[in-house]
Amino acid sequence: MPSDNCFGPVWSPDGSKLAFSIMADKDWQLGLVNADGSGFHFVKNGTLKSDAFGAPEWARDGKSIFCHDLDNIYQIDLDGNVLKKWELAKILTDASMNGGDRLSISPDGKVLLMDVDCGSEHERRNWDGPQPAIEKFDVAGEKAVRVTGKDDFVWEPFWLSNDEFLCIMQKEKENEASIYRMSLDGKNAKLLVKHARTPSASAP
């Protein structure tokens, strides 16, 4: 590979490939490589900003990838061609995304869970920045609704089943976040790992 500055690897559903961010030509780009280290190539599209390939998330069929920039969510094929595009300004109300926000596709491939930064003021002691929340986006219906509660500080969703997901949550008066299991209605949060981050699990 042309760089040793890489991060955020994500396995394809069949475990044959990795998608990841790689620094090359003084910019972050999206790379693909086979599980044995062979077949590396960049996924590029000259009409898109380089940061459009951030936070890659494989579609369930392994033939395309969801990713986002600050303005849009994209579904691209493995050659970089845009299959679908959704403008964040049209699907989010009083929320936005930043470069580190995560996408997670449901086991049936119909719903994306997404990190968002809430636009409303919600001050909390020992917290710097906007309130993080999780929204679910119906890919076919092109509609997003908030999952987590108005007072919850939750981020980094990762699907477990069609009804539950892993996430990071930091409660009031806590100085560190922990990993929780939560139902899709945003309720029944169960603490799994205290003071931990970056949850993931075997593919559901």
Distance separating alpha carbons of residues 24 and 69, to the nearest angstrom: 18
130-146: pLDDT as tens digits: 999 999 999 999 999 99
Those residues with Cβ within 8 angstroms of residue 79's Cβ, 6 or more apart along the chain or in another chain:
43
Q: Which residues of 151-176 are buried (b: 16+ CB within 10 A; e: fewer)?
A: ebbbbbbbbbeeeebbbbbbeeeeee
16-27: pLDDT as tens digits: 999 999 998 888
What residue spans define the domains of the chain? 1-86, 92-204
Indicate the pTM of the whole model: 0.91
- Judge whether residue 196 has pLDDT over 60: yes
Instruction: Say what the pLDDT of residue 2 is.
Output: 86
Quickly name the fold that domain 1-86 has: N-terminal domain of TfIIb (2.20.25)
- Judge whether residue 204 has pLDDT over 70: no
92-148: pLDDT as tens digits: 988 999 888 899 999 999 999 999 999 877 778 778 889 999 999 999 999 999 999
Share of the chain above pLDDT 70, in %: 99
CA atoms within 13 A on the CB side of 90: 8
Of the candidates 39, 41, 78, 73, which has an alpha carbon nearest to the alpha carbon of residue 55?
Answer: 73
Those residues with Cβ within 8 angstroms of residue 110's Cβ, 6 or more apart along the chain or in another chain:
138, 139, 140
Q: Which of 22-26, 47-51, 64-68 has the highest mean pLDDT?
A: 64-68
